[in-house]
Amino acid sequence: AAARRRAPQLVSKAGLQFPVGRIGRYLRQGKYVTRMGAGATVYLAAVLEYLCAEILEVAVNATRDNKKSRIVPRHITLAVKNVKNDEELNKLLGGVIIAAGGVLRRQNISHMYVCRPPVYAKESRRDENERVTLRLYNLEA
């Protein structure tokens, strides 16, 4: 009774971490394609794995910048929004919103707040003969 040898899985053949068979099953069950080539699932799994690796790489850098050891959605948001040197990744993830990732802080907010001295009272003249009265806003003495 010789044990049957199992055929090598597509994941190990392709050298990927993403599940090739599961991606193919989702493509078939979701009716995304009517006909699918043998290499299509391997190619799609490789593309998805590459994108995840790129995003995780910049997220790890953002995590280290914040002196943390665990990646949280905030770090992914900071990483995705601050990808300036990778033009293609920036174009792909330009309009992406990460759940529980927060928003980016504005860099130049000094133009929004103009520092003016506070005005506590104003002077008004009724007639030249009357003396100057000092009225507080909404309060008359």
- Give the pLDDT score at 131: 45
The residue to which tokens 């030249």 are assigned:
128
Model confidence over 73-112: pLDDT tens digits?
Answer: 999 998 888 877 788 888 888 888 889 988 887 665 555 5
Model confidence over 100-109: pLDDT tens digits?
Answer: 988 887 665 5
Please give the C-alpha separations between residue 106 and each of 60, 63, 84, 103, in angstroms, as whole numbers. Answer: 22, 20, 16, 9
- Give the pLDDT score at 137: 45
For residue 24, give both structure tokens: 């193919």
What value does the mean pLDDT take over residues 12-36?
90
Q: Which helix (H) or strand (E) holds 88?
A: helix 87-92
- Give the pLDDT score at 65: 92
What value does the mean pLDDT take over residues 48-67?
93
User: Please, which residues bridge with residue 39 across strands?
Assistant: none
3-state helix/strand/coil string of 10-41? HHHHHCCCCCHHHHHHHHHHCCCCCCCCCCHH
- Give the pLDDT score at 120: 58
| Of residues 79 and 6, more confidently modeled | 79
Task: Tell me the pLDDT band of 134, cut-offs 50, 70 and 90.
Answer: very low
pTM above 0.75, yes or no: no
pLDDT at 31 over 70: yes
